[in-house]
């Protein structure tokens, strides 16, 4: 569409498949997320499924769609690979090389997403000449009247860009005619400019180049000229090549770009490859539509809860494998200077002196109260003591599983404590240590210590009343009484009678510790002393001397001195 100097290259029409009045910002965000996923040539129904499965996270949904469409076995991982730090350094070296080779054609998007822009005219010519993707309409009636002449319609540029919002009412042509002459065909080819893009993503804990990255072949300005299946087939060919190179740990991005420029190889693969991809009618996640086990007496809206009933179901085989990997990585941290520095700081906290006493008390009593003053380190250290003790036991032949949930009274404290603990363990948030609050979650299958708000744990109790996989519950700042915290304590007092293997730790300020001990039947109280922090005074003049700062002679902050004082 051209109006003066304004040229609209494309857009997204939400009016066709959504209500004209979107009631909430959440619906707008979902519509935007669906449109973004569809640009990767996945079916819309599958994009919607993935969003629901991945809690509306676009990045996680994209990973899930990639795994499902290309049948990736997540359990197939190479052995004897370098550490994550070494792998990251290898990727940085490869990135520098690609930037020098492709210059502006190579870009880095958000979250370390690599993109290489390509001009592959042979793909465009292949489908323009064959006209395989656009169904033809019936030809116009010929009245055999030489005096009857019709002016040929121009091709609709919006239609070529993807979709025309005017539909059948558009005054331009919505078909690519095969009766065009070579000259008109070449003119059309010149008017259609498609920039293809190879997008490379690296998921968390990726083992690239010993493991293929996530590859997406798409176009910057999608059109109806090239079918979606073609993009998926090309991606499959690239993935096959990346798998071969990954066996020897060879960086593959340059080879993949060169493969895309190999016209003969790509066209032969498109024409003769017989692999199939999920149909729009096939469910990627059958568990979302299966409602087996639901009572017919339950109301219809309860069916939505059936999806969440399996949210915390666990695969013990996968958990055992993850536990081995977590324990192995924890042992390797003994050589990490940053981890050792954090450990030396942790040992200076008053809570460290009570570490063994806390662990022994948990073995003797199912519920304990830890009373500690501000600054003693109870919030960040006690959950880590439990986690480290489990890792020690696991590396010494233990087979037990641990999952710690630590509640915080406020969302900001849940995020802050989780990030601090992750830093002390030299890990990314969302791996072994994560957090979950309303509308935001940073957890994974490898998360063993989750910080969350009290409301999140209560919501989890709705779907899993016995907290089947949880082994330890830490209720921090329990002295900050609220309806939610009191209700949680009421539930936990009954739950420990059913779950004899569940340990509950209540952490409180010194004033109200006896109150909670009496409520749970005179349970033991452990006291952690606080500590004072030294305070030093530095005056402005001293700071200026220490920093060698020289003030401007006649500046606004310079002290005015009368001339008479120097006489």
Residue-level pLDDT at 24: 63
Q: What is the pLDDT of residues 331-380, one digit of tens each?
A: 888 888 999 999 999 999 999 999 999 999 999 999 999 988 888 888 99
Residue-level pLDDT at 499: 92
The dihedral of CA 339, 344, 349, 351: what is its sign? positive
Query: Distance from CA of residue 356 to its chain's centroid?
Result: 37
Confidence check: pLDDT of 17 > 70: no
Written as six digits, the tokens of 433 are: 């240590």
Q: Is the peptide bond before 209 cis (omega within 30 degrees of 0)?
A: yes
Residue-level pLDDT at 506: 93
- Residue 245 is inside which H or E element, if any? helix 228-246
**What average pLDDT does the segment 146-151 reach?**
45
> What are the b/e assignments for 7-32, b being 16+ CB within 10 Å?
eeeeeeebeeeeeeeeeeeeeeebbe
Predicted confidence band of residue 309 (pLDDT cuts 50, 70, 90): very low
- Residue among 351, 355, 362 nearest 524 (CA): 362
Distances (CA, A) of 97 to 90, 100, 112, 135, 380: 11, 5, 16, 44, 42
DSSP label of 501: T
Q: What is the pLDDT of residues 256-302, one digit of tens each?
A: 999 999 988 998 888 888 888 888 887 776 654 444 444 444 444 33
Q: Token match 């994550």: residue?
A: 84
For the chain, the distance separating the N- and C-terminal CA atoms, rounded to the nearest angstrom, is: 81
Distance CA 445, CA 316 (A): 11
Please classify residue 566 by burial: count the beta carbons closer than 10 Å to its beta carbon, then call 0-12 exposed, 13-18 middle and 19+ buried.
exposed
- Residue among 194, 181, 180 nearest 121 (CA): 194
- Strands of the sheet containing 214-219, edge to edge, are 106-109, 113-118, 196-201, 214-219
Residue-level pLDDT at 198: 92
More reliable by pLDDT, 84 or 55: 84
- Residue among 479, 490, 521, 529 nearest 365 (CA): 521
> What are the b/e assignments for 448-478, b being 16+ CB within 10 Å?
bbbbbbbbbbbebbeebeebeebbbbbbbbb
Q: What is the pLDDT of residues 118-137, one digit of tens each?
A: 988 888 888 765 544 433 33
55: left (phi over 0), alpha (psi -120 to 50) or beta: left
- Domains parsed from the chain with CATH numbers: 11-136+151-290 (3.10.110.10), 316-528 (3.40.50.300)
Confidence check: pLDDT of 15 > 80: no
Distance CA 114, CA 290 (A): 38
CA angle in degrees (0–180, nearest 5) for 160-38-48: 145
Distance CA 191, CA 117 (A): 19
- Give the helix ranges, DSSP H, for 348-428: 350-353, 355-364, 378-395, 411-424
Residue-level pLDDT at 140: 42
Query: Distance from CA of residue 215 to its chain's centroid?
Result: 16
Predicted confidence band of residue 12 (pLDDT cuts 50, 70, 90): low
User: Phi and psi for 311 in degrees, rounded to 5?
Assistant: -60, -40
More reliable by pLDDT, 42 or 293: 42
Average pLDDT score, the chain: 79
Q: Rg of the chain's alpha carbons, rounded to an integer?
A: 32
Q: Token match 């590396």: residue?
A: 395
The dihedral of CA 35, 41, 45, 48: what is its sign? negative
Q: What is the pLDDT of residues 457-504, one digit of tens each?
A: 999 998 888 898 899 999 998 888 888 889 999 999 999 999 999 999
Confidence check: pLDDT of 182 > 50: no
Distances (CA, A) of 366 to 75, 383, 386, 393: 36, 15, 14, 19
**What average pLDDT does the segment 523-540 reach?**
84
* 3-state DSSP of 343-354: HHHHHCCHHHHC
Name the percent of the chain lying above pLDDT 90. Answer: 28
Confidence check: pLDDT of 76 > 50: yes
Distance CA 232, CA 227 (A): 9
The dihedral of CA 250, 251, 256, 261: what is its sign? negative
Distance CA 512, CA 371 (A): 9
User: Phi and psi for 507 in degrees, rounded to 5?
Assistant: -115, 125
More reliable by pLDDT, 115 or 510: 115
Q: What is the pLDDT of residues 207-245, one digit of tens each?
A: 898 999 999 998 877 667 788 888 999 999 999 999 999
CA angle in degrees (0–180, nearest 5) for 86-111-228: 110
Predicted confidence band of residue 11 (pLDDT cuts 50, 70, 90): low
Distance CA 252, CA 206 (A): 14
Distance CA 185, CA 176 (A): 9
Name the percent of the chain lying above pLDDT 70. Answer: 77
**What average pLDDT does the segment 189-200 reach?**
74
Q: Token match 């993850």: residue?
A: 322
Could you give the 3-state DSSP secondary structure of residue 207?
A: coil
- Contact criterion met (CB below 8 Å) for 208 and 91: yes
Please classify residue 528 by burial: count the beta carbons closer than 10 Å to its beta carbon, then call 0-12 exposed, 13-18 middle and 19+ buried.
buried
Residue-level pLDDT at 356: 92
């Amino acid at each position: 569409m051209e109006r003066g100097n304004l040229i609209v290259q494309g857009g997204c029409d939400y009016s066709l498949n959504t209500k004209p009045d979107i009631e909430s910002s959440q619906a707008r965000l979902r519509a935007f997320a669906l449109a973004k996923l569809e640009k990767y040539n996945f079916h819309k129904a599958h994009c919607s499924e993935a969003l629901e499965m991945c809690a509306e996270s676009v990045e996680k949904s994209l990973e899930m769609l990639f795994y499902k469409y290309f049948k990736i076995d997540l359990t197939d991982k190479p052995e004897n690979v370098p550490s994550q730090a070494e792998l990251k350094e290898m990727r940085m070296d490869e990135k520098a090389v690609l930037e020098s080779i492709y210059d502006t054609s190579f870009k880095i998007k958000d979250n370390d997403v690599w993109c290489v822009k390509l001009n592959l005219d042979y793909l465009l010519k292949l489908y323009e000449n064959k006209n395989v993707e656009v169904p033809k309409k019936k030809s116009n009636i010929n009245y055999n009247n030489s005096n009857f002449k019709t002016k040929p319609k121009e091709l609709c540029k919006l239609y070529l860009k993807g979709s025309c919002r005017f539909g059948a009412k558009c005054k331009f042509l919505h078909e690519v005619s095969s009766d065009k002459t070579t000259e008109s065909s070449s003119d059309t080819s010149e008017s259609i400019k498609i920039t293809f893009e190879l997008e490379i993503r690296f998921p968390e804990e990726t083992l690239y180049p010993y493991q293929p990255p996530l590859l997406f072949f798409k176009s910057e300005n999608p059109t109806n000229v090239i079918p979606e299946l073609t993009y998926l087939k090309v991606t499959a060919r690239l993935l096959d090549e990346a798998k071969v190179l990954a066996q020897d740990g060879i960086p593959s991005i340059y080879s993949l770009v060169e493969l895309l420029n190999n016209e003969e190889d790509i066209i032969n693969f498109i024409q003769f490859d017989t692999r199939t991809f999920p149909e729009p009618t096939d469910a990627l996640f059958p568990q979302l539509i299966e409602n087996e086990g639901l009572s017919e007496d339950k109301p219809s809206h309860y069916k939505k809860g059936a999806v969440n009933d399996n949210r915390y179901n666990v695969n013990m085989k996968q958990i055992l494998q993850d536990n081995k990997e977590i324990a192995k990585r924890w042992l390797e941290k003994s050589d990490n200077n940053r981890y050792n520095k954090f450990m030396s700081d942790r040992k200076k906290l008053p809570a460290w002196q009570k570490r063994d006493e806390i662990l022994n008390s948990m073995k003797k009593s199912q519920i304990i109260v830890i009373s500690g003053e501000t600054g003693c380190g109870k919030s960040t250290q006690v959950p880590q003591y439990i986690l480290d003790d489990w890792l020690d036991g696991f590396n010494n032949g233990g087979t037990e599983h641990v999952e710690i949930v630590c509640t915080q009274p406020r969302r900001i404290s849940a995020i802050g404590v989780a990030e601090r603990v992750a830093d002390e363990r030299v890990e990314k948030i969302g791996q072994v240590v994560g957090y979950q609050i309303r509308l935001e979650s940073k957890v994974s299958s490898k998360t063993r210590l989750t910080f969350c708000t009290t409301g999140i744990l209560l919501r989890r109790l709705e779907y899993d009343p016995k907290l089947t996989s949880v082994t330890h519950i830490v209720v921090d700042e329990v002295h900050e009484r609220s309806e939610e915290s009191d209700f949680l304590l009421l539930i936990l007092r009954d739950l420990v009678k059913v779950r004899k293997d569940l340990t509950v730790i209540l952490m409180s300020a010194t004033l109200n510790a006896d109150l909670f001990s009496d409520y749970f039947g005179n349970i033991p109280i452990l006291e952690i002393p606080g500590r004072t922090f030294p305070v030093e005074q530095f005056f402005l003049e001293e700071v200026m001397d220490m920093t060698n700062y020289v003030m401007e002679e006649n500046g606004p902050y310079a002290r005015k001195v009368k001339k008479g004082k120097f006489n």
